[in-house]
Structure 1
Amino acid sequence: MGKRAATGSRRRGRQRSARRSKRRLVLPVLALALVSLGGGAALAHYNGRADVAAPAPGPPAAGPSTQTTTAPPPSPRPTPTPTPKPTPTPKPTPKKTDVPRAGAGTFTTARATGDAVGTGGSLRRYRVQVEDGIDVSAGEAAEEIQRILAHPRGWAAHGRGRFQLVTENADFVIRIATPDTADRLCAANGMNTRGELNCETTSGVVVNLKRWLLGSPTFAGPAAEYRHLIINHEVGHEIGIRQHMGCPGPGRLAPVMMQQIKGLHGCRSNAYPYDEDGIYITGPIVS
């Protein structure tokens, strides 16, 4: 019995020693397995120690997003600004300033008549003629001259004569002619108009087309107003005012019987025999 007991005791001792050796082998392997599976926290938990801190949790692993996002619209591409084409410089509209130097030398009489205008003096009947081919209507010119002679600052309105537009049996003629034709008609009465001036002849008044259309460079007003000066000056000669006048003083109105185209000499240009108060505009006799 003693021998068997001793033998059994030795057997049990060897078994316990084998179990301890086996446990010593298992622990490191288990530790390595825990580290690989759970990290230091699992190992600390197994050892019952809290001095091995668990690593801070990392950011969540990126995965497919379940939220739908709308991509911002693409920025609009800037529209290229077209290079403007240079605007062509418009050609100026030609003014009607080209006055023919010479004409046909023949005349058309205006087929127009009117009532006598004026309140005093003898009746003076006139007709209007326009040189052929100069693009001026004889009828329109006659109507304009009729208005000029009836103007409230004109001769007829202040008792210096009565005037009536007729087509025949006229006392004098008012002709509108090209510069060459005007020079010829005026030269027949001893006057040199040099292609620029008007004149009064034994048969009536000669109006230079250039002056009728363009006015005068010395006259401060449109050509339509200058026509008043032409008619009033030449008809003034026709009714008996033979001499020319000069400027009555600086800044004053020039007399209608002054040759204003030759210079104003300090006066202001004026197209009417009378001022707005009905006073006759006069000046010193010069010729």
Structure 2
Amino acid sequence: MGKRGATAGRRRTRGRRGSGRGLVLPVLVLVTGSLGAGVALAHFHGPPAEVTAAPAAPPLPVATAESPAPPTTAPAPRPTTARPKPPQPLPEPRATTPPPRPRTTSPAKPPVSTPPPSKADPKKPPAVPQSGPGTFATADASGAPVGEGGELRRYRVQVEEGIALSASDTAAEIQRILAHPRGWAAHGRGRFQLVAGEEADFVIRIATPDTADALCLRQGMDTGGELNCETTDGVVVNLKRWMLGSPTFEGEAAAYRHLIINHEVGHEIGIRQHMGCPRPGRLAPAMMQQIKGLDGCRSNAFPYGEDGSYITGPIVS
């Protein structure tokens, strides 16, 4: 009985050992399972992080994938809008730039070339025709009497046809000459009135040299293509003298015209004789034939001086 008891104790001992071993296995299984679960959990929690990180990375490619897509749509409208726009601005600048260029260059060049000839023209003596048709155009002009006293004399102005001289302009110039403050009318030696169609007391004619010679020769005077003369119905003025003046007169042709009118009208108001130079250095009288020489006197176109004194000289013819 005693042996049997010992055996039973051993069995119990073994059973405890076996039971301990049986506990170890489950524990190991639990540990292993927990470790596996931890690993699984770690993997489970890890992927979401990677998934969230991965989506963060995809936006970049997605954005790059989307960005090229818009360019394909954006460039399409741009060329369509850019193509119509360029043609519109291109013609506009082309149309605006050409006009100003010709406008600035063409007008600027002609004015520069034209003024010089116009300035040089007055210096050149005008061309005077030697002869004309012998017919005259009457100035269609009239004016009020000029002068402070004396007999009223009406005159008409005629210019030979076919010459570059206006009858009306010539009449206006003669009217100014007779109204000059140093002239006959200003000093009571007569009053003068320009008329057109009315009767005139005398006529002032501007004629070419050949026509003037013919008219003066009828009165028995040889003017030689150079001189003026007084006729029974008025005054004949040589066109050469009117346009060019006199080589002996110190002054322009416009000033010499005063001498022509004052000298010839002087005959009309009753001064029939010519005068000579009173003294060298003095003003030549208006009734002196200054075209034949001054004899030491100074050129003068007026019958009266600036002080109102009458300029006279010795009677020579």
Q: In the aligned structure 1, how far is the partner of 2:127 from the partner of 2:141? A: 28
**Structure 1 residue aligned with 2:228, among 195, 198, 203?**
198
**Structure 2 residue aligned with 1:102, among 127, 131, 137?**
131
**1:70-110 superposed Cα distances (whole Å, 9 cap, x missing partner):** xxxxxxxxxxxxxxxxxxxx997583432100001000000
Secondary structure of the structure 1 residue equivalent to 2:169: helix
| Structure 1 or 2: more helix by fraction | 2
Are 1:118 and 2:118 counterparts?
no
**Structure 1 residue aligned with 2:185, among 156, 170, 182?**
156
Matched with 2:175 is 146
Matched with 1:262 is 292
TM-score normalized by the length of structure 2: 0.61
Secondary structure of the structure 2 residue equivalent to 1:108: strand
| Letter paired with 2:143 | G
| Letter paired with 1:154 | G
- Percent identity, aligned pairs only? 78
Q: In the aligned structure 2, how far is the partner of 1:139 from the partner of 1:220? A: 28
Q: In the aligned structure 2, how far is the partner of 1:108 from the partner of 1:148? A: 21
| Letter paired with 1:182 | A
Counterparts of 1:12-91 in structure 2, within 5 Å, are: none
| Letter paired with 2:251 | G
Q: In the aligned structure 2, how far is the partner of 1:225 from the partner of 1:152? A: 14
**1:223-248 superposed Cα distances (whole Å, 9 cap, x missing partner):** 00000000000000011000000000
Matched with 1:280 is 310
Matched with 1:130 is 159
Instruction: State the shift of 1:119 in Å.
Output: 1.1
RMSD: 1.4
Give the number of aligned pairs.
198
| Letter paired with 1:196 | E
**1:113-136 superposed Cα distances (whole Å, 9 cap, x missing partner):** 000000111100000000001110
| Letter paired with 1:192 | D
Secondary structure of the structure 1 residue equivalent to 2:235: strand
**Structure 1 residue aligned with 2:242, among 212, 226, 236?**
212
| Letter paired with 2:201 | D
| Letter paired with 2:186 | A
Secondary structure of the structure 2 residue equivalent to 1:154: coil
Matched with 1:4 is none
Secondary structure of the structure 1 residue equivalent to 2:237: strand
Structure 2 gaps, min length 5: 1-115
